[in-house]
Amino acid sequence: MKKHAEPKPRPRPGKFGKYGGQYVPETLMEPLRALEEAYNRFSHDPSFKKELASWLDGFAGRPTPLYLALNLTRHVGGARIYLKREDLLHGGAHKINNTLGQALLAKKMGKRRIIAETGAGQHGVATAMACAALGLHAEVYMGSEDMDRQRLNVYRMRMLGAKVHPVESGSKTLKDAISEALRDWVTNVQDTYYLLGSVVGPHPYPTMVRDFQSVIGKEARTQILREEGKLPKKVVACVGGGSNSIGIFHSFLHDLEVDLYGVEAGGESLSPGQNAAPLVVGREGVLHGMMTYVLQDDVGQVQTTRSISAGLDYPGVGPEHAFLMTAGRAKYVTVSDQEALEAFKTLSELEGIMPALESAHAASFAMKLAKNLGRKDSIIVNLSGRGDKDVEIIAKHLAQ
Amino acid sequence: MPNTSHNDDRIGAKFRELQKKGEGALVAYLTGGDPDPKAFLANSTALIEGGADIVEIGIPFSDPIADGPVIQASSMRSLSNGATPLGILGMIRELSSQFSVPFVILSYYNPILAMGLDNFLKKARESGVDGIVVPDLPVEESDDIRNLALKHNIDIIYLAAPNTSRTRLRTVLDKSKGFLYLVSLYGVTGPRDTLSPQALEAVKTVKSLAKGKIPVSAGFGISHPEHVSAVIQSGADGAIVGSALARIVGNHLDDPNETETQLKKTVQSLKSATRLRPG
């Protein structure tokens, strides 16, 4: 073999097929390089891994149970439905898995000012918690519309010592909060760490956040094998940016007999502007630093989204999901606002578990699937968060 | 019809012409279709009559992550009046048939992708566009558009920032055509009262690596004639002014004549500041 042949172009890291990449202003290329380098170093460092594991266990409450929802199973009359109880984590959602990982990394990198975006407020709260625990300063960008509908989380962030910046631009939701956080980062690159909350944005975020969230699937796979002695037929999770779903999917990717379902927000309908389902009704595009599926009009302007759940209200999606869909490994479907509300009610009344409206989307679709499976089969739903934050919205809808 | 059979290199020619006269280039920006097509055409005319050497026209995008509040607002005005990439190319065609200044387009990547890279560049060339800047497309992701831009004789203008490493700077300088767009500060676009502390140092570093092979123009936060003369005297071949002009449009929405007058006057004073080259 010739040693000094022309270097062949090899796929750049951070690409999932054609998706992913780094579509960002030039000023961010250097901090992204530094982040990638630091992440590659620390993610292989045994002492970093040990420290993170200790935070996840002692502070966040890992491992979470895989709970057999017997009442729900009997009610549906099909496969045994297991709930991966990420709702039991500190803060009430899976988000803490990622914020502890990244906050620890930021600290190792010597960055003390942490910025984050948040939609429903769960990532903002999880960021504020991790930063308080690790002695870092958190500033969170949140769309003013989301601040109205998730007031409780705004209070929580402030009480945890974080500064919350209302975002008034564009649609005043998650998409604009990400844009504003990116603008802050471009301005303060030298001392600031951007703690992105989902598997979106430029490389290395989709890979790094997935790695931090993959603890969900690692545990779930071991737990189901212990309980059932075999793999589940299907794994179901909701998809906004897609971090809880990638987190639970990842350990099952090579188990080809396990069907993976990502559930997007069907909102009011599948007409433009009435949902948040880029994989189901969007098309390829570039948003927030990544090539992925985007809800957009004919000339490439990003569309506004609509969902009862603020955490799914995003016109883009993690690039690895775009890859899994086009490669045929995972299927993506929608559940409407109304169906999610019904699933919230069912789960609350039958199981005594109030799911986040985001996770209620996954539960709703899982019930449909379970019905058509045998009683010896099992299905796992990632219950990514608890519904306390949503009680006001739900009370309003149930009253109507 | 512009000749598409060979590269006219109109941007390069403009820089060479100015260099002979001992001047820097004033690159003046407006968001296409802001606030409406008619006013935009009149405002662009005011820039050219005021002495802009190169006119840079933005294709508005719903999520402009590199832009501050002024250009965000101008993009929203334009979009809410129904501007589309094709519509703006039509406006550029009108301008390029009347005026001989080079035209540069600034567009985020998604609207270009939505139209199709080849189709976008072909139509841009037919409209008299000489160069293109894509603020969210670093050199690593841009092989496709660079090859097509070459085919359509459109200069692809890359950006460099104060924290761009020397290795990357060499690549960016090597691949950039027309000129290199130097982001002179850490931050988004927007008018600033003072020049950033990084600006002059960044100009000197990039100029020394460019070795005269490609002109370097500084932008972001360049708002006053003093900023323009400072970057030109530090060796920049051009200064790019955007938000300071877009702000004039936003401030006089109810008085189009006043907008034109102010734009022309501002461009005149910015342009005079490019004539202060040392030596």
Contact predicate A125/A156, CB 8 Å: yes
For the CA atoms of chain A, what is the radius of gyration?
20
Name the DSSP letter for residue B181: E
Residue A193, pLDDT > 60, answer yes
Going through B224-276 in order, the beta strands assigned E by DSSP cover: 238-241
| A167 and chain B in contact, CB less than 8 A | no
A131-147 per-position pLDDT tens digit: 999 999 999 999 998 99
Instruction: Tell me whether residue B56 is one of the annotated catalytic residues.
Output: yes
pLDDT at B6: 43
A353-386 per-position pLDDT tens digit: 999 999 999 999 999 999 999 999 999 999 999 9
Q: Examine the predicted complex and report whether its ipTM is higher than 0.90.
A: yes
Which residues 172-211 of chain A have a CB within 8 Å of chain B? Answer: 175-176, 179, 182-183, 186-190
Determine the residue among A286, A305, A314 to mutate to test chain B binding: the one whose Cβ has the most chain B Cβ atoms within 10 Å: A286
Cα separation, A212 vs A293, whole angstroms: 23
Is A23's CB within 8 Å of B115's CB? no
How many residues are recorded in chain B? 279
CA distances from A108 to A38, A136, A203, B241, B245 (A): 8, 12, 19, 40, 43
Cα separation, A383 vs A121, whole angstroms: 17
A4-59 per-position pLDDT tens digit: 544 555 567 899 999 999 999 999 999 999 999 999 999 999 999 999 999 999 99
User: Which pTM does this prediction carry?
Assistant: 0.96
A276-303 per-position pLDDT tens digit: 999 999 999 999 999 999 999 999 999 9
Identify the H or E element spanning B5. none
From B62, which residue of chain A is nearest by alpha-carbon distance? A301
Cα separation, A344 vs A339, whole angstroms: 9
**Which chain A positions have a beta carbon within 8 Å of B144's beta carbon?**
none
pLDDT at A115: 98
Cα separation, A221 vs A251, whole angstroms: 7
Determine what percent of chain B is predicted with pLDDT higher than 70: 96
Q: Which of B67, B130, B155, B237 is catalytic?
A: B67
Band of the pLDDT at A1, cuts 50, 70, 90? very low
Query: Which CATH superfamily does the domain covering B10-272 fall into?
Result: Aldolase class I (3.20.20.70)
Determine what percent of chain A is predicted with pLDDT higher than 70: 97
B177-229 per-position pLDDT tens digit: 999 999 999 999 999 999 999 999 999 999 999 999 999 999 999 999 999 99
B49-76 per-position pLDDT tens digit: 999 999 999 999 999 999 999 999 999 9
Which residues 151-170 of chain B have a CB within 8 Å of chain A? Answer: 158-165, 168
Is B112's CB within 8 Å of A182's CB? no
Cα separation, A113 vs B118, whole angstroms: 43
Which member of A12, A186, A286 has the closest CB to residue B110?
A286
Band of the pLDDT at A173, cuts 50, 70, 90? confident
Determine what percent of chain B is predicted with pLDDT higher than 90: 95
Which member of A21, A169, A186 has the closest CB to residue B187?
A186
Average pLDDT over chain B reads 95
From B60, which residue of chain A is nearest by alpha-carbon distance? A301
Q: Which two tokens stand for residue B57?
A: 């026209």
Cα separation, A321 vs A242, whole angstroms: 7
| A288 and chain B in contact, CB less than 8 A | yes
From A18, which residue of chain B is nearest by alpha-carbon distance? B141
CA distance B66 to chain A (A): 6
pLDDT at A99: 98
pLDDT at A10: 56
